[in-house]
Amino acid sequence: MARQLVARLGIFLLSLAAASFAIFVITQALPGDVAAVILGHGATPEQLAAKRAELGTDRPFGVQYLEWVGGLLTGDLGRSWFSSLPISTLIAPRLEVTGSLVVGGLALAVLIALPLGALAALKRRRLPGLLTSAAAQVGMAIPAFWAGILLVFVFGVLLRWLPPNGYVPFGRDPGRWASHLVLPVVTLGVIQAAVLVRYVRSAFLEVLSEDYYRTARAVGWTKGRALVRHGIRNAALSLVTVLGLQLASVIVGAIVIERVFVLPGLGSALLDAVATSDLVVVRGITMLLVFAVLVINAVVDLSYVLIDPRLRTREES
C-alpha cells in the first residue's frame, strides 16, 4: 500500500509540473503587450521598455518560468500587473463563492442522479424509465448559460421568488447567502445531474444482471430493496469515477454560471484578468484550479480502495 501511495504521489507531482509548464507556455504565447495595455497608446518606446523591465516580461522565457515556479513552491502566486496586489489577496474572498457553487452543484447533482438513475434502470422498459432517460438526454443538450438565464427570468424576474444576481457573504447574512446561491446551484446541479443519470443507470443495470441481485430477489426482497442494498455500493465506484472526470467540466460550468448570475468568484476574476491581459493573475488562478482538480482526482483514486475491498486485497498482494 505504501508503494502505491508513493507511486500516486509521483504521478501527482509530475502532472502538476506538466500543468505548470503548459499554463506558462500558453499564456506567454498569447498576443499583445501588457506594458502597452497598462500605459496606453501614447506611451513612448522608452516608457514601454521601462515598464517591461519593471514587470519582468523582457527577461528570457526560462528565467521567468523558474521564478514563477519558485514562487508557487513557496505559496506565492505573484502580484497583479495592474493593481500590484498579491494574487492570493485578490482571490481569497472569491474562493468562498466558487467553492460554495461547485460543492453545492455537485451535491445536488448526486442527490438527483442517484434516484433518477435507479428509476431509469428499474423501469427501463416502461414509461417512467423512458421519460427519465429522455429528460437526461435533453438536459445534456441544454447549455448552462441558457438554463441560468431561463431560471433568472422565471424565478428572479417574473415570480421574484429569488434574487436574480449578486452575492452576500455567509458571514454577513447566512439567509441571504443561501438565497443568492439557490439559482446558480440549481443551474449547475441540474445540468451535471443530466450527465450523471446515464452513468448511474448503466451501473445499476450491471447490478440487475448479477447473481447476487437475483439471489436477493429469490429470497423475497423487492426490486427496490435489492437494488438499494447491493446497487448503491457497487454503483459508487462508477459514480466516483465519473465525478472525478466531471470535475473539470463542473469548474468550467461554474465559471459560466458566475458570469450569468454576476457572482464574484474565481471564474469572474479569471475572465476579467484575460480581458485586461493580466496574465500573472490568469496563471495564478488557472494553476490553483488545476491543483484543486488534481488533488480531488487523487482523492478519488484513493477512495477506490475504500469502496471496493477487492482492490485493497489486490494491492496488498
- Write the CATH number for 257: 1.10.3720.10
Amino acid at 257: I
pLDDT band of 250, cuts 50, 70, 90: confident
- Which pLDDT score is estimated for 313? 52
Q: Does 60 reside within a domain? A: no
Q: Does 87 reside within a domain? A: no
Q: Does 200 reside within a domain? A: yes
Q: Per-residue pLDDT averaged across 282-299, rounded?
A: 85
Of 19-33, 172-186, 229-243, which one has max mean pLDDT?
Answer: 172-186
Task: Name the domain count of the chain.
Answer: 1
What percent of the chain is helix, strand and coil (3-state, nearest 5)?
80, 0, 20
- Which pLDDT score is estimated for 230? 67
Among residues 119, 307, 125, 252, the alpha carbon closest in space to that of 198 is found at 119
Is the separation of the CB atoms in 81 and 38 below 8 Å? yes
Half-sphere exposure of 304 (CA within 13 A, CB side): 20
Q: Does 2 reside within a domain? A: no
For the cut 90, the answer to whether the pLDDT of residue 18 exceeds it is: yes
Q: Does 1 reside within a domain? A: no
Amino acid at 18: A
Percent of the chain scored above 90 by pLDDT? 6
Instruction: Give 260's contacts (C-beta < 8 A, 6+ positions apart).
Output: 144, 145, 148, 149, 152, 184, 187
Supply the range of the domain harboring residue 170.
Answer: 95-308
- Residues 141 and 292: their CA atoms lie apart, in Å, by 27
For the cut 60, the answer to whether the pLDDT of residue 158 exceeds it is: yes
Q: Does 211 reside within a domain? A: yes
* Span 160-169, pLDDT tens digits: 888 888 888 8
pLDDT band of 233, cuts 50, 70, 90: low
Cell reading at 256: 459560466
- Which pLDDT score is estimated for 309? 56
Is the separation of the CB atoms in 296 and 247 below 8 Å? yes
pLDDT band of 305, cuts 50, 70, 90: low
Q: Does 66 reside within a domain? A: no
- Which pLDDT score is estimated for 184? 92
Among residues 171, 174, 173, 154, the alpha carbon closest in space to that of 162 is found at 154
- Which pLDDT score is estimated for 60? 87
* Span 45-96, pLDDT tens digits: 888 888 888 888 888 888 889 988 988 888 888 888 888 888 888 888 888 8
- Which pLDDT score is estimated for 32? 72
Q: Does 137 reside within a domain? A: yes
Mean per-residue pLDDT over the chain, rounded: 82
Backbone dihedral angles phi then psi of residue 263, each to the nearest 5 degrees? -95, 135
Cell reading at 3: 508503494
More confident residue, 283 or 244: 283
- Which pLDDT score is estimated for 231? 65
Is the separation of the CB atoms in 254 and 86 below 8 Å? no
Is pTM beyond 0.75? Reply is: yes
pLDDT band of 312, cuts 50, 70, 90: low
Backbone dihedral angles phi then psi of residue 99, each to the nearest 5 degrees? -60, -45
